[in-house]
Each structure stands twice: as C-alpha cells, then as structure tokens.
Structure 1
Amino acid sequence: MVTIRADEISKIIRERIEQYNTEVKIVNTGTVLQVGDGIARIYGLEEVMAGELVEFEEGTIGIALNLESKNVGVVLMGDGLLIQEGSSVKATGRIAQIPVSEAYLSRVINALAKPIDGRGEISASESRLIESPAPGIISRRSVYEPLQTGLIAIDSMIPIGRGQRELIIGDRQTGKTAVATDTILLSPAIADPISVPTQDMLIGLYILTNGNRRAYQQKRITFDSPLWLRWRLDLRILSSEKFLSKFTMNL
C-alpha cells in the first residue's frame, strides 16, 4: 500500500512555487471596427499615445492619430488588404519612427524606409522619431561655407551657403526640377568624390512624390552614375501611395 508523506508533498509544492515564473507582460490591445481608404477604426487601445505605432494581427503597421472616447483612428502604413473587421490590434509603445543609417546611401527606398531597388535589406541599428523637434537656433552651426551648384549662372549671381535652405520658385515646366537635379549631378562636393575629402562631401537626396513609375525609372537612369552613387539616397513615393506624403515630408 502506498503511503502519502506530507513532507514530500510540501517539498514538491514549495519547489514548484519557487520555480513559478511571475513575469507578466501587459499588452494594450483593441479590435478593428472598420477599415477602408487607408484608415482603420479601432475599439479599445485605451492607453495608446498620439502618433504611436500599432501592429495589426496580420503584420501591418499603423499610426494612431485620431484619439476619441470610444475608438481610435489609425492611418495604415500599407495597403491593409488582409485586415478584417474583428481582428486584433496591439500597441507597440513606440512613437512613429524610422531607421537611420549610412547604409541607406546609394539605395532607393519607399516612404516606409523599405528598399525597393532589389539589392537586399538595409541593416540599421538606430532609429529617429518622425515628429522630432528641430534643434534650437543657438545650438545650430552657422552657415560659414559657400555651396557651388556647378551652374555658372547661379554660382555667379546668387550666394548659397552650405546648410541653408533655398527655395526654387517658378511656373510649371520652367526647369525648377532640372536646377535641383543638375545641382546633384554637377556640384563638386557631390559629383567628384575623388578630389573632395570625405568629410566635405554632400549627400544628394532625391524625393519623387506623387509620381508615376515611368518618371521614377527615368530619374533612376539619370542618377545611376558610379561617380556619386555612394553619396545619394533616393526616396520614392508614387501617386498610388499618396496617403504617405504627410509622413514622407517629415523625414
């Protein structure tokens, strides 16, 4: 006959209690009420922050923008074709941010910082908030060095400083884009990496917004120059991705 020993039972219970994992992970979740036109209405997510990234059940990322008493309006950072009513959504606890790295130079990306040039993924260990505050005037470095655009008509008449903003105004089809494009192609600080020291190099950033795929391919052929390919970053957002324009302008 098997005898029950109370001391052994107490020992086993004590060991089980000591080995019990008390770590509890609290996740702020919600449920999709409706989705369409790049916007999703979420019930729940009581503690979500404005501008916080949320993740849908099928993997799509969104940004919580409209915080109401009973639901949350989320802008989808993707097509959202697989999102269904009733599916779950969880808050990530992170404000909208994008990865940053020098590995993005010479690459072509979309508005979500995803590579679209067929050259593999981009590894980035750091990230930056999209809605980050601009540095104060005192902490900024003063404009002390001129910038040569490579266009004699501009360099001889208009003083442009490196680090300042310059607005190009004109009617349609008057060559505004051509001036900016030629500056990227002709500027000695960009187009001549052999004679210009690395610390003096400029980074050429070309952003195509609300364009079509044909215009994108034409610009890519124009910019694919091996001399300055290393110092360029192309950001493409097509007319089919207009809902991302607001966030693209903040990058």
Structure 2
Amino acid sequence: MAGELVESEDGTVGIALNLESDNVGAVLTGDGLSIQEGGSVRATGKIAQIPVSNLFLGRVVNALAQPIDGKGQIPASEFRLIESPAPGIISRRYVYEPLQTGLIAIDSMIPIGRGQRELIIGDRQTGKTAVATDTILNQKGQNVICIYVAIGQKASSVAQVVDTFQERGAMEYTIVVSETANSPATLQYLAPYTGAAIAEYFMYREQHALIIYEDLSKQAQAYRQMSLLLRRPPGRSLSGRCFLSTFSTFREGC
C-alpha cells in the first residue's frame, strides 16, 4: 500500500509511493550505497511512524526522530504516524487566545492566535529567521512547547540557532528537527511531517505547541526531486511556487 515501509537486503528502509501494476516506486531514507540491482526488497506491513515522548524536549533530532546531538538515545513513550489524519472542523475550537511573539509590530498590528498559521515571507537577509527564533525565545514561561524544523539549511546555520536557544535557556521547552542541505531529498521532505507529529503528541495532551518551519520552499524542492526520480508527470504540483497548496496535510493537523 502507498506509504508502506519496505526494507532491502542490507537493511535500508524505504517508503513506497508509486504503486503500478508491474512495479512499485519507493524512496530511500538512507544513502542506499550498498543496494545492488536485482536485490530483494520486502514489505514490512507498517506505515512510517516515529517515536515521541516528553524526553524529546531539549534535543536535536533528524526526520526519523533519531537524536543527532550526541547526547544518547531518547526513550519513547509511544509512536505516532508521520502523516496522521487531520481533525475535523467540528472538533476544533475557535481561535480565541493570542500567541505573544514578543515583537511589538506583530503583536499590535497583526496578532497571531493559538491554532492559527502565519507565513513569514521576504527576500534573503531580511530577518525572517530572526523573527522565528525571537518568537521561540519569547515563549519562555508561557507554557508553550516549541518545535523548530530546519529543512535544507546549512549545518552551521542550524548549529548557530541551537547555540542561541541554549544560551537563552530556550532548549528547555524546544525540540529541533533538522535535515541539512546535505541530507537526502526524502528526509528533507519528511522533516516537516516529523515536526508536526511531535507537535500533535503534545497537542493531544492539552499542551500548546508552536512549530516553526524554515523553510518550506526547500521541502518543495525536495519533493520535486523525488517526483522526477519516480517519473511522475511534471505539472503544477511540482512547482516550487505552489508548495502552499501541495503540502497542506501536515499543516492542517495542528
């Protein structure tokens, strides 16, 4: 079935995306350097899922929720599907409580409510990252769990953001999900879904969660690479400018 995990002889795991009458197209979650033509691949009968727990707070993980900060493994209390169905409209509350960003221009002119989504858009070097990180820093003492998802960023840039969080004491309530520019396109594509799944874990425990995606255009580029490799027909869904309509699934979940 689509979205099912498959495993090759060398243990490399992939995700089946294309189901044809005579073949199955899958993307790998590893480098796949040891996979040989003609090798066998078996279906696992499982859908992609990640471990989650409160112990993820203060840690840096990859798109598979595996720690990459050198602080050891993270015990999991449960597992969540990477792509969970979004709750229906009836079960949602009205947006009635503001999310204080700590930035006067935003809080006074265009306030953001808890449960709302907001796009930060602008040219290079215009302070988009500063707005996002300052918002996380200003959640200290606000009982808000923050998830910072870095997609296709330079490793040095992510390390600088993590250092800032640590210096300001923000890692106590923050989880960083990172897939750098050197990561496979599959993992860059999955990173926002992982961030959303972690946020949903806290959301369903009556805790507020804030997710920062930086940036979704890199995910759109990764999705385009995957689609071309899978020989999907090019079209509007592969355009980097149309990622807002293409990748609505994980944003609607929270």
The normalised TM-score by structure 1 is: 0.72
The equivalent position to 2:8 in structure 1, one of 42, 56, 59, is 56
Is 2:191 the partner of 1:243? no
Q: Structure 2 matches for 1:21-36, cutoff 5 A?
A: none
After superposition, the C-alpha distances for 1:167-212 in whole angstroms (9 at most, x for unaligned) are: 2222222111211111111x2xx223xxx5xxxx111111111112
Is 2:178 the partner of 1:229? no
1:169–1:216 CA distance, 2 compared to 1 (3 A): closer
Match of 1:149 in 2: 101
Match of 1:210 in 2: 152
CA distance in 2, matches of 1:123, 1:55: 24
After TM superposition, give the deviation of residue 226 of structure 1 in Å. 6.2
Q: Name the amino acid aligned to 1:93.
A: G
CA distance in 1, matches of 2:109, 2:168: 31
After superposition, the C-alpha distances for 1:56-109 in whole angstroms (9 at most, x for unaligned) are: 222111101111222211110111112222332221111122222222111101
SS of the counterpart of 2:102?
A: coil
Q: Structure 2 matches for 1:8-19, cutoff 5 A?
A: none
Match of 2:29 in 1: 77
Number of aligned residue pairs: 193
Question: Any gaps of 5 or more consecutive residues in structure 2?
Answer: 195-254
Q: Name the amino acid aligned to 1:133.
A: P
Q: Structure 2 matches for 1:87-126, cutoff 5 A?
A: 87-126=39-78
Q: Which has the higher contact order (CA 8 A, sep 6+)?
A: 2
* C-alpha RMSD over aligned residues: 1.7
Instruction: Work out which of the two has the higher radius of gyration on C-alpha atoms and give 1 or 2.
Output: 1
Q: Structure 2 matches for 1:183-202, cutoff 5 A?
A: 183-185=135-137, 187=138, 190-192=139-141, 196=142, 201-202=143-144
Contact residue 180 and residue 188 of structure 2 kept, 8 A = no
CA distance in 1, matches of 2:188, 2:24: 21
CA distance in 2, matches of 1:107, 1:179: 22
The equivalent position to 1:137 in structure 2, one of 82, 89, 92, is 89
Question: Any gaps of 5 or more consecutive residues in structure 1?
Answer: 1-48
Identity of aligned residues (%): 63
